[in-house]
Structure 1
Amino acid sequence: MAEQTVRLEPVPSILVESLRDIGYSLNSALADVIDNSIAANATEVQIFAIPGDDFRIAIIDNGEGLSREKLKQAMRLGSSDPRQERELNDLGRFGLGLKTASFSQCRRLTVLSCTGEEKGAAFTWDLDYVVRENQWAVIEELNIGSIPFAKELGHSGTLVLWEKLDRLTGVRGVGKVDHTRIISEVEDYLSLVFHRYLSGEKGVNRLAISVNKRPIVPIDPFNTCHKATQAGQRELICPGVTMQAFTLPHRSHYESQYEYERSGLPGGYLRNQGVYLYRAKRLILYGTWFGLSRKTALTQLTRVKIDIDVSQDELWKIDVKKVSAQIPEEVRKRLKSLLATIGAPSRKAYSKRAARLTSPDIYPAWNAERVGDRKLYKINRTHPVIVSFLESLDSDLSTNLETVLSFIETNFPVASLFYDFANNEDSVTAPDPREEELTNMARTFFSALNQSIQDDEKVLSIMQSNEPFCSRWVETLQSLGIEEQ
């Protein structure tokens, strides 16, 4: 069959605009640039995002830097072969990250690099110039001192400067930008994605990252420093892939609401349960079960750390943005087989708590009764407060009260409660009694229970494990005329 080759060169002005829409967010774009700093053995990365009309972002590291020729090559689209074997700490892959990440946010990218042996070199991709001239051409900056933030660059290292941030500020820079929100979200994202580098974990070079001179504090999604965290055994799934399951502490183990919410991460525990996938100890994606299981309230404390090295890129189909992956079949099978046991500690934390709250030893207001494969919640007719009230009624009123209690049980809002709890456990709470109501409850409970137990200390111990008294213990003692010891 006769054939001939026909050259079809991409049109620069069209392709460069298409490259901007690969799907980076500001956070993932910044993380991609920092990957290059880590590959250059940097120990410090400074990010400057100074609020103002002429909004620019600069990422500056103290890494090894690039010579003029190497920098020029690095500015080329597709500057490295993704099929080549890479160093273990090389977080790059396609030779596209620096450019596509930057283009996704700005129309003007300048990179200035110094090796310590040269005065430094700088090149600029100006997308308006590429579109206007319709050619793949960079601008070499000859007056390095005039580049914004150049004075912040040390003896060696690299400065990446984003200007004309039209995706944030609009085409002509007139868009309204919530700088405070943007900068805060950047800090939260980087504190999680690079937490193992920020904390100086064994096997990685410690990296300090700051935003506008403010150091970023790492956030460990597994809360490994908390004494109540349960860590499973680290398991080798296959060469280059390890897995370890963690069960986070229940809310009752945290000393403050802030600490509890920080460990939950943005979106909360339910949303962020699942696999945390790391490539060369850099977080790629998190909060997913890869379609193997549903996210449930009972497993919301479960998080699984999976580590892969850079040799796994093709198997896991790591994308250019390094924010998505596909789990290989071998790992999928192993993870699926372990899911039942992985989530067990989380389910146990909630089931034990539920059992305690319905234990007859503390006289709960509700009893959980098993009927076949169903569980029914019924008002506890033997509760001291209810018994005391029943005894004050004649037979007709007692019958009427039983009808009211049964009506309340029948209309227990199961579906609504499950939905609210599954979406946000913290949004579900019981009403807080007024001071007068609490006083009446405490006195009735104490009096009724003391008639059968006749031991003040034991009655107080039971009350201290019972709501609403335990949450307002000082007020409860005051209502009983008891001074706290």
Structure 2
Amino acid sequence: MTLIEGSATVSRELELNPEPGILVESLRDIGYSFQSALADIVDNSLAARATKIELFALPMQKSGFMVGIIDNGAGLRRNDLLQAMRLGSSNPRDTRVQGDLGRFGLGLKTASFSQCRRLTVLSRKDGQTSAFCWDLDEVVKNNQWNIIELTDISSLQWLEKLGESGTLVLWEKVDRIAGSRKLQSGNIERLVSEAQTHLSLTFHRFIEGSHGLRKVSIWFNGYQLQPLDPFNTDNPATQAGALEKIMQNVTLQSFTLPHASRYEDAAEYVKYGLPGGYQQNQGVYLYRANRLIIHGTWFGITKKLPQTQLCRVCLDIGIEEDESWKIDVKKTSAQLPDDVRERIKKLMVTIGSPSRRVYRRRTAALTSPDAYPIWRRYEKDGKVFYEIASEHPVIGEFRSSLDSEKRRCFDSLLSFIGTTFPLEALTYDLSNDADKVTMEDMSHEDFVDAARAFSERLMRKENMGTDDVVAIMKVIPPFKSRWSEAALVLGVDE
């Protein structure tokens, strides 16, 4: 207790330490996901200048689901490792060295605690190997911040993979992954696959060795991760805007991704859409020290529209900007400073225009009354021919439901119908009394089936949004003359 005398009052300072058992349980609920927790550990490996990082997430017969992260970085001596295991091991306001991906001195601990109740870290440097362990059950039981120093490390999982220098982070008693001891193989595969994609995206610059970075190989359960560049800069159809320096330590560059028709196959197109698809992942991609922090957000500046779904904006900030951007402990959220927000607002018109032009040109062609004809007209050897357009969405949707043999028979049927078109009779009737020539209306049931097949084909095969499909169907037959029925099928209000 300390007495403090002021000009008008006398007060006392009382030491009021937090309850270890309560605080440590609270720290587990900061909000990490499995993949964001792994990314935080990888940050430490990169800060240690590792060139190879191996991750394992596997069910063990005796000890349940376990996670290990091993790197060949610089490693830590005993006292440095002990300090690194302290909660709040560094001051967030201290000057950081260039490329330092940490800030609060909490990431290793809070990320690990969010997933497991026993964290062991072993590090090797200059021939010295040290290991410490936080066991949260012991902290709660004794209600004390007592860390365990391991003197016998021979039984540690994945120890044999550690080289002459580097660090092993081991998660045991993993209890936050949907009943980890009872995880089925399918769930594990999904969990690992999602984490692999997340890491491939978050650290793609490090894996590529781009932006002046040393190349780092990252392996996950024996699979080497490939970089996932959200801007698809290797595709010649990607449109890149000029690199602009908005303010000190902040640069911006806009990208318009290629339309689906400019990809070699559907799998590649889906890959660069990222989980959730193009419309969900449009927006700002914020990098801090070349590490992706946040992606797919306009920070409330504008809505995510189908017309701008190909637009992605790269924002790079330096580590000096942490406080002004309010980077959180998990490195999964940030806030735009007011001056940057205002600048992006002014840039929005030009940022989104290439993406809008891609879809405007395409939509203008598709919303022509002549788009998607059932009968195709073409000229050959000085003559005019008509044939059924087998690629029409309604026909194409039906064809795709057939097996190869039935599809061949169906194509033969279309050819047969096309060649037996009553051209002479139609010409005679039109020349005598064109007003009498008309077509029988479809039944309501047949019309609904056709409208549903048409819209689903465009949405699934051509990746169109509802707004684009509505614009097309409003102007082409037979939907334009029976639009109220078509609107009900699409579920839109008119």
Deviation of 1:360 after TM superposition, in Å, equals 8.1
Aligned partners of 1:156 and 1:103: how far apart in 2? 25
| Correspondence 1:40 to 2:48 | yes
Q: What is the aligned partner in structure 1 of residue 381 from structure 2?
A: none
1:204, distance to aligned residue in structure 2 (A): 1.4
Provide the secondary structure at the position in 2 that maps to 1:145.
coil
Aligned to 1:309: 318
Match of 1:60 in 2: 70
Alignment of 1:143-158 (within 5 A): 143-158=152-167
Q: What residue in structure 2 maps to residue 357 of structure 1?
A: 366
- 1:401 positional shift: 3.9
Output the CA distance in 1 between the equivalents of 2:294 and 2:427. Answer: 60
1:51 to 42, 49, 59: 59
Deviation at 1:243, TM superposition (A): 0.3
**Residue 325 of structure 1 aligns to a residue in which SS?**
coil
How far did residue 174 of structure 1 move? 4.2
Q: Which runs of 5+ in 1 are unaligned?
A: 367-383, 431-485
In 2, distance between residues paired with 1:295 and 1:391?
51
Shift of residue 147 of structure 1? 1.4
Q: Secondary structure at the match of 1:168?
A: coil
Aligned with residue 22 of structure 1, among 21, 24, 30 = 30
Matched residue, 2:106: 96
Against the structure 1 CA distance between its residues 237 and 3, is the aligned structure 2 distance closer, same or farther, given a 3 Å change threshold? same
Question: One-letter code of the match for 1:61?
Answer: D
How far did 1:398 drift? 4.4
State the 1:426 CA deviation. Answer: 5.7
Q: Do the aligned residues in 1 keep the contact of 2:287 with 2:317 (CA within 8 Å)?
A: yes
**Inter-CA distance 2–229: structure 2 relative to 1 (3 Å threshold):** same
SS at 1:332 equivalent:
helix
Among 463, 476, 479, the alignment partner of 1:425 is 463
Are residues 413 and 9 of structure 1, via their aligned partners in 2, closer, same or farther at CA, if it must alter by over 3 Å?
farther
CA distance, structure 1, for counterparts of residue 79 and residue 372 of structure 2: 78
| Conservation of the 8 A alpha-carbon contact between 1:145 and 1:151 | no
Percentage of identical aligned residues:
52
User: Are residue 263 (structure 1) and residue 301 (structure 2) matched?
Assistant: no
Equivalent position amino acid for 2:344 in 1: L
Separation of aligned partners in 1, 2:192 and 2:116: 16
In structure 1, distance between residues paired with 2:166 and 2:37: 19
Closer/same/farther in 2, CA of residues 256 and 392 from structure 1, 3 Å limit: farther
Aligned length: 409
1:242 aligns with 2:251: yes
Asked if 1:277 corresponds to 2:277, the answer is no
Alpha-carbon contact 2:100-2:319 (below 8 Å) kept: yes
The reply on whether 1:254 has 2:273 as its aligned counterpart is no
**Distance in 1 (alpha carbons) for counterparts of 2:188 and 2:232:** 30
2:336 is aligned with 1:327: yes
Contact 2:127 2:164 in 1 (8 A): no
Measure, in 2, the Cα distance between the counterparts of 1:285 and 1:160: 25
| Aligned match for 1:113, one of 115, 119, 123 | 123
Task: Map 1:458-469 onto structure 2 (within 5 A).
Answer: none
Q: Tell me, yes or no, if structure 1 residue 84 matches structure 2 residue 94.
A: yes
Please say if residues 43 and 102 of structure 2, whose CA atoms lie closer than 8 Å, have aligned partners that are also in contact.
Answer: yes
Counterpart-to-counterpart distance in 2, 1:338 and 1:200: 30
Structure 2: distance between partners of 1:387 and 1:306: 62
Matched ranges for 1:364-443 at <5 A: 398=436, 401=439, 425=463
Shift of 1:392: 7.0
Give the distance between the partners of 1:184 and 1:137, measured in 2 at CA. Answer: 36
- The separation in 2 between residues aligned to 1:184 and 1:139, in whole angstroms, is 33
How far apart are the structure 2 equivalents of 1:63 and 1:27? 21
The one-letter code of the counterpart of 1:2 is: V
In the alignment, the residues of structure 2 paired with residue 421 and residue 88 of structure 1 have an alpha-carbon distance, to the nearest angstrom, of 46
Name the aligned partner's letter for residue 216 of structure 1: L
- Structure 1 residues 157 and 402: CA distance shift in structure 2, 3 A: same
Q: What is the identity, as a one-letter code, of the residue corresponding to 2:190? A: R
Q: What CA deviation, in whole Å up to 9, does each residue of 1:155-201 have, x standing for no partner?
A: 00000000000112538x34556211111111111000000000000
Distance in 1 of aligned mates of 2:347 and 2:118:
48
Distance in 2 between residues matched to 1:262 and 1:337, nearest whole Å: 31
Letter aligned with residue 463 of structure 2: E
Residues 299 and 362 of structure 1: is their aligned pair in 2 closer, same or farther, counting only changes over 3 Å? closer
1:50, distance to aligned residue in structure 2 (A): 2.3
**Distance change >3 Å, CA 390–CA 338, structure 1 → 2:** farther
Give the secondary structure class of the aligned counterpart of 1:270. helix
Partner of 2:79: 69
Q: Counterpart amino acid of 1:92?
A: G
State the TM-score, normalizing by the size of structure 1. Answer: 0.77
1:4 match: secondary structure? strand
SS at match of 2:333: coil
Question: Which stretch shows the higher mean deviation, 144-153 or 277-286?
Answer: 144-153
Confirm or deny: 8 A CA contact 1:169 1:176 kept in the other structure: no
Change (3 A) 1:363 1:220: closer
Q: Taking structure 2 as the reference length, what is the TM-score of the superposition?
A: 0.76
1:254, 1:66 → 2: CA distance?
A: 46
Question: 1 CA distance for matches of 2:257 and 2:49?
Answer: 33
After TM superposition, list the pairs within 5 Å mapping 1:103-182 onto structure 2.
103-115=113-125, 117-168=126-177, 170=179, 173-174=181-182, 176=184, 178-182=187-191
Once the 2 structures are TM-superposed, how far is the Cα of residue 357 of structure 1 from its aligned partner?
A: 3.4
**Which amino acid in 2 is paired with 1:217?**
Q
Q: Distance in 2 between matches of 1:30 and 1:58?
A: 10
Per the TM alignment, residue 393 of structure 1 is displaced from its structure 2 partner at its CA by: 5.8
**1:404 Cα deviation after fit:** 7.6
The 3 A distance-change label for structure 1 pair 80 and 363 is closer
User: Any idea what SS the aligned residue of 1:182 has?
Assistant: helix
Structure 1 CA distance, aligned partners of 2:333 and 2:422?
Answer: 59
The answer on whether the counterparts of 1:30 and 1:101 sit within 8 Å (CA) in structure 2 is yes
**Runs of 4 or more above 6 Å deviation:** 360-363, 384-390, 402-405, 427-430
Q: Does 1:231 align with 2:240?
A: yes
| Secondary structure of 2:176's aligned partner | helix
